[in-house]
Amino acid sequence: MSRPKSWQICHQNVFENKVFAEVIVLELRRQWLASKEIAQKINIPTARVCNWYNKDVGLTALDIYLLIKHYDFMKDFIELFAVSELETIIAARLEVRD
């Protein structure tokens, strides 16, 4: 297999960070949490939280860690979401393999 083709297969994004950020923001809004409240609670700049809420900007690993650390419902939500998404990815890759 040629080098460019193997790179394309290796780096296919099945699940993008922006989509994950949108799902997390939907859950935060469902819990009636404002961006300023979240920024104060997890001690990050308000502009960064506003970027998640209002723009197509993904979360960093630190942001996700801080959300999990300070909000119990986020830990449960991310675990459930990640497990279901991993099962989907694994099933899709097994189908491609067969």
Cα dihedral value 49, 54, 60, 65, nearest 10: 50
pTM of the model: 0.65
DSSP 8-state class, residue 59: P
What pLDDT is attached to residue 40? 92
Closest among 14, 37, 35, 27 to 77, alpha carbons compared:
27
Residues 9-32 have pLDDT tens digits of 555 555 567 777 788 888 888 889
Token pair of 63, please?
A: 């942001």
pLDDT, average across residues 65-80? 85
Residues 75-92 have pLDDT tens digits of 888 777 776 765 676 566
